[in-house]
Amino acid sequence: MTFLDLSAVRKSYGPVVALDTVSLAVPEGSRTAIVGASGSGKTTLLRIIAGFDLPDAGKVVLGGQLLADGPQAVPAHQRGIGYVAQDGALFPHLRIADNVGFGLPRDTPQRQARIAELMDMVALDTAMLQRYPHELSGGQQQRVALARALAQRPRLMLLDEPFSALDTGLRAATRKAVAQLLQSAGITTILVTHDQAEALSFADQVAVMRNGQLAQVGKPLDLYQRPADPVTARFLGEAMVLSAQISNGWAECSLGRIPVGNTQYSGSGQIMLRPEQLRLEDLSHPQALQNPNAASRAAVVLEADFCGPTCEVVVRLLHSDEMPLRVHGPANHVPAIGAQVQIQVIGQAHVFP
Ligand SMILES: Nc1ncnc2c1ncn2[C@@H]1O[C@H](COP(=O)(O)OP(=O)(O)OP(=O)(O)O)[C@@H](O)[C@H]1O
């Protein structure tokens, strides 16, 4: 069931169109990630949902309540929406206890118990309550910011790049913990990020923004495997886009014949393969020689970089003027520069509609 419904929301700052007729349905209890390049309108959209900015036109409805109809709007503090900013925005001069309890009534016997309960929810030790924000790590500060937002028992939680200041390991762990916490509390959540991997792993719905519009909205796997266009494809991860002649469920391209997923289309078009769909095989491998696409898939290694668990190899097809292709291979087999190899294609290619 739709919990947050945005319809035809528009917002301009002078001549800059920040949001251009954005409509989005967010199901109750779900996690939606809004992902897009810098300046695409993500923060503007979040601020309009929170009530910090007003739309020029369009409606914002939450749980059946009309929050904004153009510039007619319910004020931010009456919306029941939690907001966690990029830097956590904790009050530096207040101890953690007062940061977490900032919006809670003072002088009530329940206050301390509620603060302790919130610390427990975000898996922080209550021994930290007497410290100041600068005495906590970045990840701990983000959890305090989340606890402060949860204190209001929000109907909807908005997270604006809350993990971006954390280093890689802490970032993934904090993201996972926050996702689990919000899911178990049943709080509908919207995460804004410019990190596509973060969006794909956090959310059950991903909305890709481009130039103030939603380019595509869908489930993470659907968007990754079946992007609407090459720009969205490349935004969500590495993608190889090849010209092809498509008919009867097959694409003829510089890599030979490849089965395609969406078979309705026929004619000339473009197909996409992800790097994990390509493998390199030694040309002397018996399977390589038997492959009917053997000639078109022969390639020479241009670059091979060892990257820890994998190696990244750039190859050029021997019998085509196709741009060099990037392949992720196992780290225990880094091919030599100049070696001749054969490309294996795994699974189906995606045809751009
Ligand atoms: N207060 C403002 N005054 C004027 N222009 C603004 C204002 N806020 C945002 N903009 C413009 O609106 C557009 C969308 O900005 P927004 O901050 O929503 O993008 P974003 O996708 O969140 O970007 P980033 O990832 O860099 O935070 C940009 O062109 C930005 O310059």
Is residue 194 within 6 Å of ligand 1 at its C-beta? yes
Is residue 211 within 6 Å of ligand 1 at its C-beta? no
Nearest CA to ligand 1 atom 13: 18
- State percent of the chain over pLDDT 70: 95
Per-residue pLDDT, averaged over 84-113, amounts to 83
Report whether pLDDT(325) > 60. Answer: yes
The span from the CA of 33 to the CA of 195, in Å, is 10
Is residue 18 within 6 Å of ligand 1 at its C-beta? yes
pTM over the 0.80 mark: yes
pLDDT of residue 242: 92
User: 10 near 57, Cβ under 8 Å?
Assistant: yes
pLDDT of residue 290: 65
The per-residue pLDDT for range 267-311, each reduced to its tens digit, is 899 999 998 898 888 766 656 556 666 667 888 899 888 888 888
55 CA → ligand 1 middle, Å = 14
CB within 8 Å of 277: residues ≥ 6 apart: 345, 346, 347, 349
User: Long-range contacts for 315-321 (Cβ within 8 Å, ≥24 apart)?
Assistant: 315/280, 315/341, 315/343, 317/254, 317/255, 317/343, 319/295, 320/254, 320/296
pLDDT of residue 285: 63
The span from the CA of 249 to the CA of 259, in Å, is 6
41 CA → ligand 1 middle, Å = 6
Task: Return the best residue to mutate from 44, 47, 164 for the ligand 1 pocket (most ligand atoms within 8 A of CB).
Answer: 44
Nearest CA to ligand 1 atom 5: 13
Is residue 16 within 6 Å of ligand 1 at its C-beta? yes
pLDDT of residue 289: 57
- Ligand 1 atom showing the smallest separation from residue 53 Cα: 1
CB within 8 Å of 242: residues ≥ 6 apart: 251, 253, 254, 255, 270, 271, 272, 273, 322, 349
117 CA → ligand 1 middle, Å = 36
Nearest CA to ligand 1 atom 31: 39
Check if the interface score ipTM surpasses 0.90.
yes
Is residue 208 within 6 Å of ligand 1 at its C-beta? no
The per-residue pLDDT for range 148-203, each reduced to its tens digit, is 888 888 899 999 887 777 777 777 877 888 888 888 888 999 999 888 888 998 89
Is residue 210 within 6 Å of ligand 1 at its C-beta? no
HSE, CB side, 13 Å, CA atoms: give it for residue 154.
26
The per-residue pLDDT for range 26-49, each reduced to its tens digit, is 999 999 999 998 899 999 999 999
Report whether pLDDT(231) > 70. Answer: yes
Could you say which architecture CATH assigns to the domain 238-352? Answer: Beta Barrel (2.40)
H/E stretch holding 235:
helix 230-235
54 CA → ligand 1 middle, Å = 14
CATH number for the domain running over 2-234: 3.40.50.300
Per-residue pLDDT, averaged over 241-259, amounts to 91
Which range among 12-16, 49-53, 258-262 shows the weakest confidence by mean pLDDT?
Answer: 258-262
Nearest CA to ligand 1 atom 1: 13
Percent of the chain as helix, strand, coil, to the nearest 5: 25, 35, 35
251 CA → ligand 1 middle, Å = 41
CB within 8 Å of 130: residues ≥ 6 apart: 95, 96, 97
Is residue 36 within 6 Å of ligand 1 at its C-beta? yes
Domain boundaries, the chain: 2-234, 238-352
Phi, psi (deg, nearest 5) at residue 27: -70, 155
